[in-house]
Amino acid sequence: MALRVFVRRFAVLLVFVLALSGCDRDTSLVVVKAVAAGVPSLAPFFDENQGLGRDDARLTTAQAAHGGLQQGDTPGLYGGSKQPATCDVVRLKEFLTDPAHERKAQAWAAALSLATDGIPGYLDRLTPVLLRHDTLVKNHDYKKGKAVPFNALLQSGIAILVDEQGLPAVKCSCGNPLRPFEGDTTGIKVEFDDRNAEWKGYQKSSVVAVRPAPRKVERLALVDVHEPDRGIDRPVGTTGGDDTSFDTRERRAVPDLAGATFGQASRRLAGQGLAVAAEGGGLPPDDARVTASDPRAGTELRFGEYVTLSVAGDGSGGTATTPPGSGTPRPTRDPSDSTPSKPAESAKPTTSSTATPSSPPASTAPPSSPGSSESAGSEPSGPTSRPASTGASSAPPTSDPPPPPTGSPPRTTSAPPTSTPVTSSAPPPATSGPATTEPATGAPSTAGPGASTTA
């Protein structure tokens, strides 16, 4: 009987603990409000009944979405159509520059970190597109004279304006400003409601967030949302009148990207009409080195298909791993963990009798005043202690000798070869002769004997 009571109480306690752990997981997720295509906003900047822009709820994604972070210049990330008038930029500009709407214009500009007088020029650089994937953004409602931010998931088919780096900037139908989503794409909790019910085809794993392209783009490579075999080349800052078409079925070979930086590789792939992805769902820094690609070089793909890159290092010589949804890798090794004295010892020249000014291991630039490099403490051990064993022949303190006519006093490194003394500071720029003339051109005469008798 006692055993049965104990088991029952243990089961109740286990259920309670599991319930608490589930709640903890929910509270750590970022709450995101679902925004369906064609559904008017409850707090818009612009009256949606006036036809500023329109969504395309019939849009069907032409390719399977590659969830996670995407760069703004990714080919095929956005879509278009033969009827490009999805957003009336001229009308939005007139509305925001009208003195009657000055308060809205101030709130609108503040959400995008703009001055109100910079609104017209900013709008002229935006480009209308249609979302091809469910996209995370920071949306803004207009409430009580202010722009109120909230995280939102925009359904594919919604018309937006993007900036020169491919970032969502404005939701066309209501004029609400948009900013990049700042959370982890895998750590979200999407809230659907009666007006924005969960739409057909929604998959949390296919949700994307856009990060800026590594450089300003001149043209956006879009996909016709109604004719996926037709591509649209749209110059940035235009509304569709200057579009040109291309065939998305044309095969494109994956270039050899091994050894390039991630930024270089992504630009080359974009130029080929191919999308870039990285292992783990995130995007490494632009200076990370590419080691391999999947598919490998030479494979032929259709427009907008993804090439997954493997990288080693974060551009500083260490290796890095990228967590899903994060653009900043965590280095697995500290590149600066070596001691300062080792590089100086390994860089000692072996034939210093004919050394030029570039031969000594000058790791620091010449100081602006005599003795300043010695007081910086960049050589904590080795060089300053060895001459002390020679008694009167040791070099005097840096503050005692008078300032040299040119250059700076030489600093001794760790023990030089037994044949010739070596200094770590670079000689004056004007000196180009052998190392034996250094004391006469730049170094104090009192330091010469000490340096020459150390060996």
Return the pLDDT at 334.
40
Domain annotation covers residue 338: no
The whole-angstrom separation of Cα 397 and Cα 371 is 9
Nearest in space to 284 (alpha carbons), one of 305, 306, 255, 263: 263
Element of type H or E holding 13: helix 2-27
Is 284 strand, coil or helix? Answer: coil
Mean pLDDT per block of 10 residues along the chain (455 residues) reads: 59 56 62 94 89 75 67 93 81 94 96 96 96 96 96 95 97 96 92 93 91 92 92 94 94 94 93 87 86 94 93 51 36 39 40 39 41 39 40 42 45 41 40 40 40 36
pTM of the model as a whole: 0.64
CATH number at residue 267: 3.30.10.20
Is 68 strand, coil or helix? Answer: strand
Q: At 164, list the tokens.
A: 């020169």
Contacts of 419 (CB under 8 A, 6+ apart): 352, 353, 455
Domain-terminating residue out of 248, 263, 296? 248
Q: Are 188 and 328 in contact (CB under 8 A)?
A: no
Q: CA dihedral in degrees (161, 165, 168, 170; nearest 10)?
A: -40
Domain annotation covers residue 103: yes
Domain annotation covers residue 2: no
> How many angstroms separate the Cα of 429 from the Cα of each of 122, 376, 445?
49, 22, 19
Give me the number of domains the chain comprises.
Answer: 2
Q: Which domain holds residue 301?
A: 251-313
Domain annotation covers residue 183: yes
> Which residues face 230 on adjacent strands?
247
Are 302 and 154 contained in the same domain?
A: no
Return the pLDDT at 82.
78
Are 273 and 133 contained in the same domain?
A: no
